[in-house]
């Protein structure tokens, strides 16, 4: 067990989460003259700051309690708030791996927190021996593990993740933005076992709601209560809370689309394997593929010229581009364009 209070920025501990008489009002109806809203219209009222309906549905789906869930403005908000809760600017540090998701770096820079990075192994796994060297540094408050990792697509070895959870005296954030596409289950089931574990997920990928900006953190209730202290009161709009609830309600739509994306991924892999310009397709547990090609920069530009936008990741992994799995038609167009280049 990690002493969570010791990790928290001292000014945060004393804060109280936002709450109002209306929030606590159980009946649902009433005359609300407390928030200077316009009394007319359909979207005239502030949304539920606690996102109770959404959390309730998620709690059932994920077999956790409502107070194990934080709902954010995308999971990028989870990353940002974690820095603000646990790291004193200019003093504390965070740790992650390379290559990985870029927002850990961006958010740490915005918050004036030094982000240390450890290179992943050649098969993009965690080098536990190197991580161990950092365990003694008590200024490292956060450790980000992206699994499946962006941009490489692989899951991190569960044994290594558990070793870190057991031995690191700070907060471990497992970013599971792509977990619904993966062959292994989420690590949410470990939140009761490790009080330093935060699992972040999102409605932006498998749930198809990137426009809505709804992200999630799962952790023990003590950690979740810290997120509630620092979030802005109405961080997720009513429209977006409803969009997420609707997506959860239409579970068949979600699962049909997920199945199609996974099928398309296999079809695309088979077609890409036939192309000489594709030197390597890295194994992927996500809805994207990392391809090693002859000349990533020129290939990327050639695809842009055909109005096909991919992600040139050659600065992180030499001569690699990352492609998202599209619709069957989009994938066909990609393969056609690649054949013509």
**With b meaning 16 or more CB within 10 Å and e meaning fewer, what string describes 157-190?**
eeebbbebbeebebbbbbbbbbbbbbeeebbbeb
> Does 109 contact ligand PMP by CB under 6 A?
no
Tell me the closest approach of the beta carbon of residue 79 to ligand PMP, in angstroms.
Answer: 7
Among 107, 152, 154, 202, binds ligand PMP (CB under 6 A): 202
Among 8, 46, 74, 92, binds ligand PMP (CB under 6 A): 74
- Compute the 3-state secondary structure of the chain and give helix, strand, coil in percent, each to the nearest 5: 40, 15, 45
> Does 175 contact ligand PMP by CB under 6 A?
yes
Tell me the closest approach of the beta carbon of residue 170 to ligand PMP, in angstroms.
Answer: 19
Among 4, 146, 217, 325, binds ligand PMP (CB under 6 A): 146
177: left (phi over 0), alpha (psi -120 to 50) or beta: alpha
> Does 96 contact ligand PMP by CB under 6 A?
no
Residue 146 CA to residue 305 CA, distance in Å, equals 32
Tell me the closest approach of the beta carbon of residue 202 to ligand PMP, in angstroms.
Answer: 3
- How many other C-beta atoms lie within 10 A of the C-beta of residue 217? 24
**Count of positions on this chain that bind ligand PMP (CB under 6 A):** 12
Tell me the closest approach of the beta carbon of residue 146 to ligand PMP, in angstroms.
Answer: 5
Residues whose CB is less than 8 angstroms from the CB of residue 31 and which lie 6 or more positions away in sequence, other chains included: none
- How many other C-beta atoms lie within 10 A of the C-beta of residue 315? 10
> Does 215 contact ligand PMP by CB under 6 A?
yes
Among 60-68, 72-80, 267-275, 321-329, the segment contacting ligand PMP (CB under 6 A):
72-80
Residues that bind ligand PMP (CB under 6 A): 74-76, 101, 146, 150, 175, 177, 202, 204, 210, 215
């Amino acid at each position: 067990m990690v002493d969570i209070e010791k990790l928290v920025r001292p000014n945060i501990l004393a804060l109280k989460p936002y709450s109002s008489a209306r929030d606590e009002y159980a009946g649902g109806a009433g005359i609300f003259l407390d928030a200077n809203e316009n009394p007319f219209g359909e979207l005239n009222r502030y949304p539920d700051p606690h996102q109770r309906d959404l959390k309730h549905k998620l709690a059932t789906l994920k077999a956790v309690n409502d107070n194990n869930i934080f709902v954010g403005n995308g999971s990028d908000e989870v990353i940002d708030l974690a820095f603000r809760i646990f790291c004193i600017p200019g003093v504390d540090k965070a740790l992650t791996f390379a290559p990985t998701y870029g927002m850990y770096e961006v958010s740490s820079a915005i918050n004036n927190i030094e982000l240390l990075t450890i290179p992943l192994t050649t098969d993009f796994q965690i080098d536990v021996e190197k991580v161990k060297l950092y365990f003694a540094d008590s200024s490292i408050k956060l450790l980000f593990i992206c699994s499946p990792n962006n941009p490489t697509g692989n899951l991190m070895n569960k044994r290594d993740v558990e070793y870190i959870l057991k031995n690191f005296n700070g907060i471990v954030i497992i970013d599971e933005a792509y977990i619904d596409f993966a062959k292994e289950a989420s690590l949410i089931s470990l939140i009761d076992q490790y009080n330093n574990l935060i699992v972040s997920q999102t409605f932006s990928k498998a749930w198809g709601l990137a426009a809505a900006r709804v992200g999630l953190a799962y952790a023990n209730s003590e950690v979740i209560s810290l997120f509630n202290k620092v979030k802005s009161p109405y961080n997720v709009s009513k429209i977006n809370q409803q969009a997420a609830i609707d997506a959860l309600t239409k579970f068949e739509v979600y699962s049909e689309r997920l199945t199609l994306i996974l099928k398309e991924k296999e079809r695309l892999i088979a077609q890409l394997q036939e192309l000489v310009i594709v030197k390597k397709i890295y194994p992927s547990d996500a809805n994207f593929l990392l391809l090693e090609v002859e000349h990533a920069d020129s290939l990327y530009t050639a695809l842009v010229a055909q109005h096909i936008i991919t992600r040139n990741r050659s600065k992180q992994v030499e001569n690699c581009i990352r492609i998202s799995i599209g619709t069957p038609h989009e994938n066909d167009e990609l393969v056609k364009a690649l054949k013509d280049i």
